[in-house]
Structure 1
Amino acid sequence: MCTGKCARCIGLFLIPLAFICIVANVLLIFPNAERTWTDHITLQVWLMGGIVGGGLFILCPGCAAIRAGGKGCCGAGCCGNRCRMLRSVFSSIFGTFGSAYCLIVSATALAHGPLCDLGSGDWQYPFKDYANGTNYLVNQTLWTICKQPKNIVMWNVVLFSILLGASAIELAFCMLQVVNGCIGVFCGDCRKNKRKEDDGL
């Protein structure tokens, strides 16, 4: 696969992943899709890892990669797609930091667990320093400790797991595009050679 087609495929994967991260983070602001609990949100939700890091920071490299897969700014002439490839390299480096940020925030959120009411108006992170050392992620019987919001543990685990998985894929794709873009900058878009061969026929 030539560098242009590879860049376009990467961009087409990154943009939906960015929107998935944005939607997941927005849902985390409204536990159980209710506005009642927006004043009791974990710090990791307010850090906006999905909206900023996995979302907005990824839309830029996604669009740049798609453009790098199109016709070059000079067509099949002097530089082919090298200019757009170079732009996509810098954008992908930018996206790498964004996806890494989302990954770290999501992993931290899963490790600390949600902020919840233990039943007497006492809002805590009950799983952050759990006494017997049992991981709440593998022991769902512990989830009943949280009384309000209902199903808050499941809500956080599912959505932060989506953010974790999506940001990990984004990180891999951004790093891949950095390599692919560098090859495109130095070697050009192989489709240029293909066009010349077709014109010769």
Structure 2
Amino acid sequence: MGSRKCGSCLSSLLIPLALWSIIVNILLYFPNGQASYASSNKLTNYVWYFEGICFSGIMMLAVAAVLLVLENDNNYKCCQSENCSKKYMTLLSMIFSALGIAFSGYCLVISALGLLQGPYCRTLDGWEYAFEGTAGRLESFE
């Protein structure tokens, strides 16, 4: 009983976090509230992978919704026996939890690659990835 409450609580927490991820990722397309950066292709490459909207947003909402439905005590029986239904629900719960981990991993990889590449900045030479290849050191700018 305690693990059901904990799982339901964690699944419920995924919903606001997924909505927050969608909102934050949408804001990345409009720096300073202007659409001109997106229309003139002055956004970083990794923004176009939509990891915040699709994978840590919409897909996590779907995972959280399915997990909440599965954890509900009023599930319909899929089999003749209650033991079979519990095993089936456990299997589905494990599959959707694994999907959630995979979606989180995708977001982690894309975010890490974006951090390695650095921001897309306007410099004296025009728009470029000014910190790419510097490993975060500012030596090349001094």
- TM-score normalised by L of structure 2: 0.80
Q: Note the aligned Cα RMSD (angstroms).
A: 2.6
User: In structure 1, what residue type is equivalent to 2:116?
Assistant: A
Q: CA deviation at 1:94?
A: 1.2
* Maintained 8 Å contact 1:42/1:114: yes
Farther off after superposition, 81-90 or 17-26: 81-90
* Maintained 8 Å contact 2:116/2:135: no
Number of aligned pairs? 134
Q: Deviations over 1:84-110 (max 9, x none)?
A: 332221111111111111111112212
- Residue of structure 2 aligned with 1:112, choices 117, 131, 134: 117
Q: How far, CA to CA, are the matches of 1:100 and 1:15 in structure 2?
A: 18
User: In structure 1, what residue type is equivalent to 2:76?
Assistant: C
Q: How far, CA to CA, are the matches of 1:30 and 1:52 in structure 2?
A: 18
Q: How far, CA to CA, are the matches of 1:16 and 1:81 in structure 2?
A: 28
Q: CA deviation at 1:73?
A: 2.2
Percent identity reads 31
Correspondence for 2:27: 27
User: In structure 2, what residue type is equivalent to 1:73?
Assistant: Y
Correspondence for 1:37: 37
Q: How far, CA to CA, are the matches of 1:82 and 1:20 in structure 2?
A: 33
Q: In 2 relative to 1, CA 62–78 (structure 1 residues): closer, same or farther, beyond 3 Å? A: same
Q: Determine if the alignment matches structure 1 residue 73 to structure 2 residue 76.
A: yes
Q: How far, CA to CA, are the matches of 2:37 and 2:113 in structure 1?
A: 21
Q: Give the number of the structure with larger relative contact order, counting CA–CA contacts within 8 Å between residues 6 or more apart.
A: 1
Unaligned runs of 5+ in 1: 136-141, 143-201
Correspondence for 1:178: none
